[in-house]
Each structure stands twice: as structure tokens, then as C-alpha cells.
Amino acid sequence: MRTAFITALQELAEHDDRVTLVVGDLGFGVVEPFAKRFPSRYVNPGVAEQNMTGIAAGMAMSGKVVFTYSIGNFPTLRCLEQIRNDVCYHSADVKIVSVGGGFSYGSLGMSHHATEDLAIMRALPRMTVVAPGDPVEAAAATRALAAMPGPAYLRLGRAGEPIVHQGPISFTIGKAITVREGTDVTLIATGGILEQAMVAADQLAARGVQTRVLSMHTIKPLDTDAVLKAASETGAIATLEEHSILGGLGGAVAEVLAEHAPWKIPFTRIGMDSTFVSKAGDQEYLRDMFGLSAPAVVNRLLALMDTSNR
Amino acid sequence: MTNLLNYPLTETSQFQDVAQRIRRHVLRMVNTARSSHIGTAYSMTDLLAVLYGSVLNIDPTQPDWPDRDRFILSKGHGCTALYASLAERGFFPLDWLETFYQNGSPLVGHTTHSHVPGVEVSTGSLGHGLSIASGMALAAQRDNRKHRVFVILSDGECDEGSTWEALLFAGHQKLDNLVAIVDYNKIQSLGRVEDVLDLEPMADKWRAARWAVREIDGHDITQIQDVFASLPFEPGKPNCVIAHTVKGKGVSFMENDLLWHYRSPDPDEYAKAMQELGE
């Protein structure tokens, strides 16, 4: 996803001289071509995320379209107040890009697990929150966010994620992509875990369960129509995210269903418990630990549908 | 009677008149609001009188004029003096000041840009202003624009790590279009700076980060005028003005007293202060 992002950003920068990249001294092997091609639109303020974000706000107030770039929680939690006060309150054209959403950097430990970022960014007024499901969505999201004035958070995976969308996609901020049609149950995924949602849907199909899979790449503003449509057209809904079950995709969908669904629909949130991981584990291992991999997702959905049939 | 509509001011007495007008506005605002921070407003009032009286290249009829100098009040709790300066300069009507801190007023208790013409940046949490100013200065430098970016910091907010991140950055980037003014009144929220977290040697710290530093008496109009007239101090270096000031300057019983970071005047104190301020 990071390759798709930086490639799309360079293409944008070729056509729009406002596009500026501010990095928090991270991005080895990723940002160098941009820096070389556009030296006057590249800044590395060093290991100083608060200043990175303040600088980005000041540059945006001067007419630039600024992307800040770092990994994990560094461009979000480390400088949260600069994002809230300097970026959001001023509606500054700053797009915060984090590489390493969820457990992408799993074995690097707790400091590098970005597992509350969606909830925290979603709580900020004026903030748009996007977590693309694959590299195709990542490139489309980069272009869409650059064209959209105002603050945004772009949560990426790392590198080498499988491509889910084999053909062209229609990508609109705030509109879910129906990746697979189905009427028995809906699985709503956000971010790179989308591939596991697709595997789970295949496994469920083998058992005769037709699963609708939505890529909810935009957490805020949430596509409430897609959620309510799933509530009326399918028998149950589950959310899947590589993130805490508190306040992210699951929380956002739960809010919609609780307030707007015309009847009670079986619903479950699949994600990380509100906890820390204190042992080494790669992304696959940690996904398994919290039941985010396809086989566990299949079991959760079957159990959910079983509840609905009782 | 002098006000900032006579822009640009030239005579020392004119700046002094305006500073006293600003102080009287501030006293009325604080008195009505029953919310203080009056000491921090008064320590920088003379600086603001000179900045808005002659230094800043701004146009009240075009607050968003692209070539304007930018001014950021990083110590957002001193907003009363900034609001009064902007009103005096004609950015909005003076009677807005009467609404300060009242329900529904645009004039919030910490500097806000929203609905207030002339305010560039909202502040209130310390340690944000120098980074934003540096971003503005960098953008101007790279676009080869000639405007300057001024920012007033409190001494207390020099405790913030983010201030030092920006300080290192501006020196490294050679932002000689950036002017940081430290309102060094030597008193912070819970005590004297030297007792809470000593900043000395202050000037050496800025110089070590590759800033050109000048130290002035922040209440001496001539010194303030002269220091801004000599910008940029050194090509290729950001400019730091360490303004030695007195918290509560202008009202004898408020001067150099931590109490007036918090206290609003009682009726007797109000009358006495107003008298000292020339009304």
C-alpha cells in the first residue's frame, strides 16, 4: 500500500505544485524518489512529530496541500493536539498518512501496533478517516483525498498486501465498495484485513452461505446507507478490523444500527480486544491471536447466523 | 487622541498613547468577563502597539491579502491585548470588545481566528505557535514571497518540547523571514520561571540553534522600534527578540505579581487601575 500511495502522490505532484510531503524522518526506500523529484516540496523536520504537524498546518494555511508521513502511531497519537487544534480547527489541508496500520509491524512490539488510531482520529471534528483495503484502494484514496479540501487521515498497511480488486474500482470518499454480493450475511471490513474477509466469504460459500462483503474504506463519514441496506437485505452483520473493537469501524457501524436500523439485527464486532500485546508476533500470528483470520471469522459468522435463526 | 487608525505611527508618544488605550480596553474586558490573564496581556502590550502601529504590513480592509505579514499569538491566553490591537487597527469594531468572553461572542477567552478578522491562527494550548509560524515561513521562503511571519511566545511555553522542535527546525532551515518574540516576563503559571524551570541562559539557547538574537527592554518604545527596523538581523538566520518585560506592566499593583495571572479587579482596584492608565 505504501508503494501505491507514494506512486499516486508523485503523479499528483507532477500536476499540482501545491502537493507537499512532510515526513517524520521515516520512509527509507519509499520517499526518496519524491524528495529527489520535488526537493522544494519535500520537508523532513526530523524526529519531531508535533513540529511536523504544526509545520504542515502552517504550510497548508499558506496554500499548500500537505501530506504528513510516518509510521504507526507517530503521526497521530504523538501529535494529537496539533492535529486537533492546528489542523482540524483551522480546516487545514493536511492529510496525515500512517504506514503500518494494525499489526503491520507486529513483531516490533506494542509501540508499533496502531490499534486505536481509527477511533481517536474519528472522534476529531472535521476529520475524514480512510483505511484502504488494498493497494488499488490506497492509490485511489490518495487521489481522492488530495482533491478533497480539509483534514484527513489515511491509514495504510505496509507493503506487499494482496490486490483484492482485480478490475477497476469506483472509489468515492464516504461510499463503501461492495466487493462481493450476498444475501445471507454482510461482512464489513476496513483496511488491509479486507483480504481475509474475502477468504472467509469463499469458505462460507463452500458451506452454502452467501456473504456480502463491503470494503468500508471510509470510516468517517461512514456510508450509513450501505450499512442500513445490508441490515434490510441480509440476515446479519459483522464488522472486521485490525483495530480495537472500541470506537473504530465496529463502533461506527454499531452506532448506525442502534439508532437507525428499523429492527434489531444480529450484529457482532470482530477486532482486537481493548488490550496490549506484550509478546512478539508477526501480522498473521497477531491476527490469529484475536480471531481476525479467515477461519475464525467464518466461525464467528456461523455463530452469529445461528443466533439469528434461534 | 491617537489610535492605530492613524497608521503608521511614528512618534514615541503616539505608541505610548495607543498602548495605554489597549491596556484600558483589556482592563474593561477582563473586568466584565471576570476572567483574568491581565498580567500576560500587559507584559506584551507595548510590543503589540509597535507591531500593529508601524511594523506589520497588513491591511484591515483585506485581512486575507496574500502578501500580508503574518502574526501569531502563540501565548493565546493573552488574547485580550491582541483583540484590542486588532480593533484599534480597524479589523473589527471596537464595540466587539465589550462582548469578550460573553456567551455567543466571537471573542473567545483564548485567541481564535474563527469569525475574528485579523487573527491568523487560533491558540490557547501552549507550544503550537512556533511550529505553525515556521511552516508559514518555510512556505514563503520556498515560494520566494517577501512577507514575514511574527510570533509572540511566552516564557512559560518555552517549557514545551514542541517549542524546541520548532526552534531547531527554523534554525536548520535558515528561516530569516521568521521573527520569534519571547515575552520574557519571568513569571509563569505557578511561580517565577527561574524557580519552576529555569530558561537561562535563554539567548544562548536560541543562538545555539542558529538564531540571530537581540535582547531589548520590551517596554521601551524606541528599543522595540529599532529592533524591528533592523530585521533581518543576519541573513540566513531566523530572528529572535528576547523582550525583557514586566508582568502586569502599566498598573503599579499588578506589576511583577503572579496573582494577576488569575485575579480580576474588584471595583476599587478597577478604578485605581483605570486612573493609572490615564482615564
Tens of pLDDT along B175-230? Answer: 999 999 999 999 999 999 999 999 999 999 999 999 999 999 999 999 999 999 99
Structural domain boundaries of chain B? 13-276
C-alpha cell at B75: 501565548
Contacts of A64 in chain B (CB under 8 A): 139
pLDDT per position as a tens digit, A228-287: 999 999 999 999 999 999 999 999 999 999 999 888 899 999 999 999 999 999 999 999
For helices B12-33 and B79-88, what crossing angle results, to 10°? 120
What ipTM, to 2 d.p.? 0.96
Report pLDDT for A69. 98
Given an 8 Å threshold on Cβ–Cβ distance, is A54 in contact with B140? no
* B136 contacts on A by Cβ (under 8 Å): 58-59, 61-62
Cell digits of residue A93: 489541508
Residue B87 in contact with residue B22, Cβ under 8 Å? Answer: no
Cβ contacts of residue A39 below 8 Å, gap of 6+? none
Report how many helices (DSSP H) and strands (DSSP E) chain A contains, helices first.
11, 12
pLDDT tens, position by position, A142-158? 999 999 999 999 999 99
CA distances (Å), origin A277, targets A71, A108, A113: 18, 11, 9
The alpha carbon of residue A123 and the mean position of all alpha carbons in its chain are separated, in whole angstroms, by 15
Q: What is the rounded distance in angstroms from the CA atom of residue B263 to the CA atom of residue B44?
A: 18
d(CA A211, CA A194): 13
Q: Which residues pair with B180 in a beta bridge?
A: B151, B240
Q: Measure CB to CB from residue B136 to each of A61, A81, A89 and give the nearest one.
A: A61
Q: Is A43 on the interface with B (CB under 8 A)?
A: yes
Sign of CA dihedral B205, B211, B214, B218: negative
Is the pLDDT assigned to residue B102 strictly greater than 80?
A: yes
Of A41, A54, A60, which has the smallest distance from its Cβ to B166's Cβ? A54
Return the residue matching grid coordinates 494494525.
A102
Class of B13-276 in CATH: alpha beta
Please give the residue of chain A at the shortest CA–CA distance from B161.
A50
CA gyration radius, chain A: 19
B143–A90 C-beta distance less than 8 A = no
Residue pair B31/B265 in contact (Cβ under 8 Å)? The answer is yes
Of B122, B139, B165, Cβ closest to residue A85: B122
Domain A2-156 bears CATH identifier 3.40.50.970? yes
In 3-state terms, what secondary structure has residue A23?
A: strand
Residue A12 C-alpha, separation from nearest chain B C-alpha, in angstroms:
19
- pLDDT score for A309: 63
Using alpha carbons, list the distances in angstroms from residue B195 to B186, B190, B261.
10, 9, 17
Contact A62 B136 (CB under 8 A): yes
Instruction: Determine whether domain A177-309 maps to CATH 1.10.1060.10.
Output: no
Asked whether residue A27 carries a pLDDT value surpassing 80, the answer given is: yes
Residue contact A59–B139, C-beta within 8 A: yes
